[in-house]
Structure 1
Amino acid sequence: MRSPLRLYGRRGELEAVAALSDRLRTGRGGALLFAAEPGFGRTALLRRAAGDFEAGPVLHTRAVPAESRLPYSGLHALLCAAGDVLSAAPAGLLSSGLGPADLLELLRGRTAGRPLLVCVDDAHLWDDRSRAALGFAARRADALRGVGLLLSVTGDRAQDPDFAGLPVVHLGPLPERAARDLLHELAGKKTERTDPAVREALLHEAEGNPALLEALVRRLSPAQLSGHAPPPRPLADGDTLLRTVGDRPAALPPDTAFVLLLAAAAQEQTPEAAGADAALVLRAARAAGIGPEALDADEAGGVARSDGDVIRFHSSLLRRAVHAGATPARRRAAHQLLATVLAGDRCRLPRLLHRALAADGPDPRLAADLAAAADAPDPWIPGLQRSLAFARAAELTTTDDDARMSRMTAAAEQARLAGHPHRARELLAAARAGTVHNAVRGRAELVAGALALGDGPAGDAYGALLVAAGLLGPYDQERALDARLGALEAAWAAGDVPACVAALDGGDQGRDVAVHDYRAGMLAALDARPEAARAPLRRVLERAATDDDPVRLLRAGAAALVLGDIAAACALNARGLAVGRARELVALVPRFLEHLAYAELRAGRHARAGAHAREGLRAAHRAGRRNCVAHQHAILAMVASVEGDAAAVAGHVTEAMAIAGPHGLVQAATLAEWASARADLGRGRAYEAAARLGPLVREGPRRGHFAVRMLAVPCFVEAAALAGQPDDAHAPVREFAGWAARGGDPQAPALLARCRALLAGPEQAESLYAHALARHELADGDFEWARTQLLYGKWLRRRRRPREARGRLRDALVAFERSEARTWVEQTRAELRATGDMAGGEPAGALSCLTPQQLRIAHCVAEGATNREVALRLSVSPRTVDHHLRNVFSLLGVRSRVELSRLVDRAEIKGAHP
């Protein structure tokens, strides 16, 4: 990176440099080796380290490739950089008699008393004698008092013998957020506003490489960055890629360069594969008169390596540079050779595709053959390969606009399914240009709506999908129905019931019986007719038991959740996930993980839900499905609210709302708000929890998502009752009773009884708690069962029945521990201590002198609660709290709430780390 930019996304690397600098300041020595592929910022990192080092002098030099064969040229460059920093060199330093230890002696003789930092960039390009001396000194850096060596090499040279034994830090691609921040700085120097589509295309093209991102921005004009002029295609041309990777490809021998071009061309069809088939490449090379020995030279070139079966490029950037940097004639020759050596029916698509890539002009017949091969029903053909085939078939088609645009649309759809939405949008922009038949336009709108459904406002996706359904209806009823079901998904995410009904009500019913049942069942469920919904949705589940179609499995999993059949939802989504992974349907995998995590959450299996949501988060980022990212963060917030990690809850809620707000994802937003409220409730903050949940569960403009708000009612009722506001909960409980009667949640009857117990008088409460526990036995879910036991135990303790309360509380404690619900574990232990049972955990240190009730009050006050809030939380009077608090102050010898809070914090830390 040539311009003086800030370093983004390199916190860990900078911390490693700072640790080395700290060693030098204390008089110790050390060494560190940074390894990275071209463009990842090795030079910028060393320049930053040199600039930040203020403890003493810095020797900073960079290797010159032209001098790599001159003996001692590296050491000579270092001495020239030293000036008068180092003492006089030993006699004959650069003579032929120099040994590896001489550099070590030279560094030991630096100016006395001041630390020294030696930075050598591209150390792998030093001559072999200088390199040996440098490695020798670096491995013994601990013996150099106050001397540090900071070296950088390319990624493939980190394991060279000269650098063996050195601590290595590998620089990878920039994280997404860091890349966005860097792009904002780069583009901000040219234009005030960067078009969102251009921004996403640049980030996708750069693949986290900061130097390439800088080169791409430099290549665009302000008008192109702001979206007022079309950007060049491709964004990263051969010259840009070659300038980024440097001179390694150009330095290769001609035969080696052509073999690597063959490898790059072979991998062009499956760029995400581990590498190119070495046998195929060598067959094509032999057809060109080149033997396998040509691969030996590339090891020295540092571009690729062969392990016998696969030829792997050291980075995707190098592969792209080798392919795009070749002349068009050489690229066509490489593809033609690969087509020649591919034989057999299994190779029909790759053979035709190589022939198409070798073509130098339109070829309608080849285009038709290629499109037919790409449209084959074989589920194991990679989506990106299909996309490339359809796109190339469209380029070879000139006389039929409908056929050309239809093929480009198919290419966009396959790119979307393969998890490349940026490529899909590029192809779609080309497909939507010009005047074509409504059926072709409808397919393009269907792809556009599906893309918005994964990453865009739900309202935009809904509108595009309904337009697609209208255009496709007279010509392609199956796709029109797919569009309507996609619109249902968009309206569902937005929490818009009338829009859901409108999406399902219109259009032809289609000939697929499974889809007909799904529509009928979902319409009945949305219309609150559970009996009418149950039979058709059950038929959907029965058919899915032997189905391997991923889309139908996804719908069946959703139907199972609507029915409240959590076990079926988990099984169907797990099988769909396996199918999606096997067929590399990258766009569908995050959705299966999202539905699976949500089903596990509904079942109360929070650890499993968290594991699937974390995996889903990674998959959603890879697939460019930010709407799925929002849902996964919301689920992770729910999991963290059980685990008691307040910081994690807040972090996940922030991430979820950053997407859910602008994109109108009401379901994700409701889950996130519920997670915040449940975290508050777990920490005893009933007021805050009730304030968060009240608008979501009550009628009004701010109420939550229709499929989630009822699930949050029990949490709200508990918060309202503990906050002394039971009247606010009566209306939501009445609505919850109607919802529970529909059978949408197997735990609902037990939770309804618990809610009624919280709001009932002492005469009815006990029988309601007993009824709630009996109903819990009919459904899975340790966590909710434990919460009912905890509330029942609290109720018994307030009725001065401590022996009975202890039994309930001990059962709750075991279940909460099994659920890893740490906050609830602590709450239950406090209740046990209040009954006089020390099995709940002895108070730590100075707090051991307090009674159980005094200890509970001390903890509440330490958290910042007022006397009135403590009274409500513990179900005692404010006068009782005041009396106990005065005794606590006297026993602990503190004079204020601040002192009490500090004492409690110290005691808890000591108890946690004895």
Structure 2
Amino acid sequence: MTGEEPALPTVRLHGRAPQLSRVRAWWHQPPAHRTALLVAGEPGLGRTAVLRWAARVLGAGSTGHLVAGPGAGPRHQEWTPGALLHAVESGEGRVPALVCADDADRWPPAARRLLAEAAQRLSEAGGGLLLTAATHRPLPGELAALPAVHLDPLAPQEAAALLAEAARETVEPSVAAELIAEGEGNPALLRALAHHLSPAALRGRAPLPRPLADAATLARIAGPALTGHDPRTAGLAVLVAAGTRPAGADRVDARLALRALSRLDPGARPDPASPPALLHDAGDTLGFRSPLLGRALYAAASPARRRAAHRALAEEYAVGGHRLTALLHRSWSAADGAADAGLPARLAAEAAAAEAKEPPALRSLACARAAVLAGPGPESADWHTLAAELALNAGDAHRARLLAAAVPEHLLPVRDRGRPALVRGLATLVDGPAGDAHHALLLAAALFTTAAPERAEAARLAAADAAWAAGDLAACLASLGPDTPDGPEPEAPGDQRAGMRALLEGRFGPAARRLGRVREQGTAAPAAPEALLRSAIAALLLGEVEAARRTGARALAGARQAGSAALVPRALEYLAYAELRAGRHAEARAHAEEGLRAALRSGQRNTAAHHHAVLALSASIEDEPHVVEEHVEAACATARSHGLAQVLTLAQWAAGRADLGRGRPLEAADRLGLLVLPGPRRGHFAVWRLAVPCFVEAAVPAGRAAEARTLLDDFAGWASFGADPQAAAQLARCQALLDPTEEADALYRLALDRHAAAGGGFEHARTTLLHGKWLRRRRRPREARDRLGAAVAGFARCGAGVWARQARDELRSLVTPPSPPDRTALSSLTPQQRRIARYVARGATNRETALALSVSVRTVDYHLRRIFAALGVRSRLELARLVDEAEQSARG
């Protein structure tokens, strides 16, 4: 062991919060239950960085941290397994509490056994052992049995943050998008790509090298994992790499790969039951345990070896009847410029004819390959455009944009010249600034107008969607264009466009008629997923929530059946909104969680932001403030950078509703007032009214009833249209909250009757709670008890934990009326608590109080709960009165 203990570097990890939380939880559990913990992942994902973080953060104050392993020098203090075991058993020397062992899978078996024994002794002494291992091959048995924390590739947002840090330059957005796609979520590869580019290339002022990640770069990231393979099985590994990597696949049929290997090397006799350790055999397919390693192996193989592998695969795929895949491998088997002259046309024709049986991603790849092989010309431009459209349908918005940008539009026929702009606009609509998407879609509509009116109609409707997302009412109306005649035959895009225009102009009769025709098309069978989704949107706009749920479910099933990765997240988005409008928060959460995963997989950040907003709204009725905060922050981050006013309004509404549920009306009124009161900061034109009932409920105890009354006329007009099933009941509830007379009782009862007719358990329970509070204040305890008990049961039924707790508190106050607050109790508070109490009493929010006192918001939350308990108050208003009376008494 060494006597030196050099300081560990500060480690910043992106996207590893869940894994670090698990490591922290492991370290803080009782030592008797603390077995060794394994951090596992493929090369480049940051296993060593996690160890450094653990040694710096968890091992602070320990006398040693790292056991030296193969290729690993000392990080803090170096121990060998034998020396460590001896030190622990003898009790001599400076024995570390936390031992971190890197690359334990590369240790000799004898050393691993000694380390396991040392880990057991460490645990008995209150310490712990943290190991890492690479997952590009099966783990040794003693490591495979350990509890493990697995490192996954970074999500696009996390990769973007890492890239911005690694580049140390302003990275042009299109360059950043290419680097993130090329890096495939591998932190080490992302850093290598950023360091490899010149400042001019990072800023978009110099061309990017091709390929971005060359064989040498991939070999450096793969490191020792790329060497030391069994030469008898190396041919199969390269062949599987050729069968997966260029085609964007994860796995290849095992029997087909073995037959192709026989063509490639007649003397090879691999055991089908024992594939190479680098490959994972599951369900008669072969794939790499580490995608990075498969990529590095393919790049490291010689061009001649790669072409031979593709030739063997092409022959086997042709025998099996997979014509499109066979043609693709045939195209890769030829040297540059040596392909058969007729191959590009056959490849493109097969991709166009394979619609029913091949996924859009593969067909897109085939069209793009045909365009490259054909060289510049009208056919190549057409195939390139089709490749972009198919990539968009496959959910790869980034690739679709790149392909569309490469199309020489002047070579396309006049009627097709809007297609690349349409792809760019639609791709940006799901993953980019809404304003940019709007202008691209308007350009597409202009290019289509005379030659392809149907496509122009679809582009204008999409441009209106972009303006709607941005909250730009004028641009939305301009995109929808003038009203069109209401003909006898339904015409979906025209009907939806005219119906939306009528709705935004307040002409509810024509809006209901035109949108109703679009909604009815969702009942037709069969119908394309796009048509079903359009029908579900129309039903939502009309407030026909059950129809929206049914049609949205059909659209989702159709999108999955068609393999459209682009439509699945959007179908889940509208289905989640329909569930929310129906008051089914648990179902909305389930759909949004699935939709968020699908949107992140396909790079649809705007769609992901919508799902974050739904999840924030769902969590706002539960007792999960940290979950609300996380989803609100994620939704708002994308909404601000991409100009998504609709998402921003929904997320801020969720935050305000969470404040209201936790008994913080002042904070809720401050937050929601910005959304609903007139002014430049008012929320999205079609969404802000949904937050009005929450604002009214918060405004009354916050002393802002006059402001709330100014909104009732507008909200009454919204309720009369019927687009929100709960609005009529909420209107009566708002009127009751703002009515100081006994007439409020009748208004509450009217609201409850309307809730019963509309359904929706959560809103019904909220009105029941407010009526119960009103009855308690009017000293009608028996009626109040009935209402509050029903509210508790209603909230429990729909999973609204935080609201159920509020109702239970009201019930308890009926049984044991609180004693009047003791003004002298202020003197029992600590100086810090008195300062917090005074700031809050003056109307400061928790965040404002934290900023004023230079403490965290969590600290303010903690002390405020203690203050309420010590003073016997239950609201900020009571606290304000108590502080005011105490200060007046002190002055008197």
Deviation string, structure 1 residues 321-373 (Cα, Å, up to 9, x no partner): 22222222222222222221224795221122222222332655321221122
Q: What amino acid is aligned across from residue 731 of structure 1 in structure 2?
A: T
1:624 aligns with 2:600: no
Counterparts in 2 of 1:726 and 1:111: CA distance versus 1, 3 Å: closer
Other structure's SS at 1:558 match: helix
Distance in 1, Cα, partners of 2:678 & 2:704: 17
Other structure's SS at 1:271 match: coil
1:237 aligns with 2:214: yes
Aligned to 1:826: 805
Deviation string, structure 1 residues 675-705 (Cα, Å, up to 9, x no partner): 2322233334334433333343344322222
Distance in 1, Cα, partners of 2:396 & 2:244: 17
Greater Rg, structure 1 or structure 2?
1
Indicate if the aligned counterparts of 1:653 and 1:673 stay in contact, CA closer than 8 A: yes
Q: What amino acid is aligned across from residue 415 of structure 1 in structure 2?
A: A
Point out the more displaced range, 355-364 or 450-459.
355-364
1:258 aligns with 2:253: no
Selected match of 1:599 from 572, 578, 585: 578
Counterparts in 2 of 1:782 and 1:18: CA distance versus 1, 3 Å: closer
Deviation string, structure 1 residues 773-801 (Cα, Å, up to 9, x no partner): 22222111112112222222233333332
Distance in 1, Cα, partners of 2:35 & 2:775: 64
1:370 aligns with 2:347: yes
Counterparts of residues 745-784 of structure 1 (less than 5 Å): 745-760=724-739, 762=741, 764-784=743-763
Distance in 2, Cα, partners of 1:345 & 1:513: 44
1:540 aligns with 2:518: yes
Distance in 2, Cα, partners of 1:856 & 1:741: 48
Point out the more displaced range, 249-258 or 390-399.
249-258
Indicate if the aligned counterparts of 1:115 and 1:146 stay in contact, CA closer than 8 A: no
Selected match of 1:220 from 192, 197, 215: 197
Offset of residue 825 of structure 1: 2.0
Distance in 1, Cα, partners of 2:306 & 2:201: 29
Other structure's SS at 1:655 match: helix
Distance in 2, Cα, partners of 1:170 & 1:304: 19
1:36 aligns with 2:3: no
Counterparts in 2 of 1:765 and 1:403: CA distance versus 1, 3 Å: same
Aligned to 1:708: 687
1:407 aligns with 2:383: yes
Other structure's SS at 2:68 match: strand
Offset of residue 724 of structure 1: 3.8
Counterparts of residues 266-665 of structure 1 (less than 5 Å): 266-268=243-245, 271-273=248-250, 275-290=251-266, 293-294=269-270, 302-307=277-282, 309-343=284-318, 347-360=322-335, 361=337, 363=340, 365-376=342-353, 378-398=355-375, 400=377, 402-431=378-407, 438-505=414-481, 513-545=491-523, 546-665=525-644
Distance in 1, Cα, partners of 2:715 & 2:10: 57
Offset of residue 508 of structure 1: 9.8
Offset of residue 650 of structure 1: 3.1
Offset of residue 145 of structure 1: 5.5
Distance in 2, Cα, partners of 1:725 & 1:147: 57
Counterparts in 2 of 1:615 and 1:164: CA distance versus 1, 3 Å: closer
Indicate if the aligned counterparts of 1:248 and 1:303 stay in contact, CA closer than 8 A: no
Point out the more displaced range, 7-16 or 686-695.
7-16
Q: What amino acid is aligned across from residue 216 of structure 1 in structure 2?
A: L
Counterparts in 2 of 1:595 and 1:162: CA distance versus 1, 3 Å: closer
Distance in 1, Cα, partners of 2:33 & 2:503: 71
Deviation string, structure 1 residues 537-593 (Cα, Å, up to 9, x no partner): 233223222244221121111101011010111111122222223333222222112
Counterparts in 2 of 1:154 and 1:830: CA distance versus 1, 3 Å: closer
Aligned to 1:99: none
Offset of residue 431 of structure 1: 2.1
Indicate if the aligned counterparts of 1:58 and 1:117 stay in contact, CA closer than 8 A: yes
Q: What amino acid is aligned across from residue 357 of structure 1 in structure 2?
A: W
Indicate if the aligned counterparts of 2:612 and 2:631 stay in contact, CA closer than 8 A: yes
Other structure's SS at 2:684 match: coil
Distance in 1, Cα, partners of 2:28 & 2:721: 66
Other structure's SS at 2:759 match: coil
Distance in 2, Cα, partners of 1:311 & 1:831: 62
Deviation string, structure 1 residues 69-117 (Cα, Å, up to 9, x no partner): xxxxx9xx9xx9769x987xxxxxxxxxxxxxxx956874584464487
Selected match of 1:8 from 7, 13, 33: 13
1:137 aligns with 2:117: yes
Point out the more displaced range, 444-453 or 137-146.
137-146
Query: Percentage identity across aligned positions?
Result: 46
Indicate if the aligned counterparts of 1:590 and 1:628 stay in contact, CA closer than 8 A: yes
Other structure's SS at 2:260 match: helix
Aligned to 1:879: none
Counterparts of residues 161-240 of structure 1 (less than 5 Å): 161=141, 163=143, 165-174=145-154, 176=156, 178-188=158-168, 192-240=169-217
Other structure's SS at 1:585 match: coil
Counterparts in 2 of 1:20 and 1:689: CA distance versus 1, 3 Å: closer
Indicate if the aligned counterparts of 1:64 and 1:126 stay in contact, CA closer than 8 A: no
Aligned to 1:61: 68
Offset of residue 230 of structure 1: 1.5
Indicate if the aligned counterparts of 2:364 and 2:388 stay in contact, CA closer than 8 A: yes
Other structure's SS at 2:133 match: strand
Distance in 1, Cα, partners of 2:496 & 2:302: 54
Indicate if the aligned counterparts of 2:490 and 2:517 stay in contact, CA closer than 8 A: no
Distance in 1, Cα, partners of 2:448 & 2:149: 55
Q: What amino acid is aligned across from residue 469 of structure 1 in structure 2?
A: A
Q: What amino acid is aligned across from residue 431 of structure 2 in structure 1?
A: D
Deviation string, structure 1 residues 749-790 (Cα, Å, up to 9, x no partner): 222222223333535333322222222221111121122222
Offset of residue 153 of structure 1: 3.1
Distance in 2, Cα, partners of 1:5 & 1:434: 54
Offset of residue 489 of structure 1: 1.0
Counterparts in 2 of 1:907 and 1:555: CA distance versus 1, 3 Å: closer
Aligned to 1:681: 660
Indicate if the aligned counterparts of 1:561 and 1:569 stay in contact, CA closer than 8 A: yes
Offset of residue 824 of structure 1: 2.3
Counterparts in 2 of 1:169 and 1:631: CA distance versus 1, 3 Å: closer
Structure 1 gap ranges (5+): 66-73, 88-102, 839-849, 872-895, 909-914
Counterparts in 2 of 1:259 and 1:750: CA distance versus 1, 3 Å: same
Structure 2 gap ranges (5+): 1-7, 844-862, 876-892
Distance in 2, Cα, partners of 1:703 & 1:47: 47
Distance in 2, Cα, partners of 1:851 & 1:526: 50
Aligned to 2:856: none
Other structure's SS at 2:298 match: helix
Q: What amino acid is aligned across from residue 791 of structure 2 in structure 1?
A: A
Distance in 2, Cα, partners of 1:774 & 1:212: 61
Aligned to 2:858: none
Counterparts of residues 804-823 of structure 1 (less than 5 Å): 804-823=783-802
Aligned to 2:890: none
Root-mean-square deviation over aligned CA pairs: 4.1
Deviation string, structure 1 residues 576-618 (Cα, Å, up to 9, x no partner): 2222233332222221121111111111111222222222222
Q: What amino acid is aligned across from residue 55 of structure 1 in structure 2?
A: S
Counterparts of residues 662-741 of structure 1 (less than 5 Å): 662-741=641-720
Indicate if the aligned counterparts of 2:137 and 2:279 stay in contact, CA closer than 8 A: no
Indicate if the aligned counterparts of 1:405 and 1:440 stay in contact, CA closer than 8 A: no
Offset of residue 465 of structure 1: 0.2
Offset of residue 198 of structure 1: 1.9
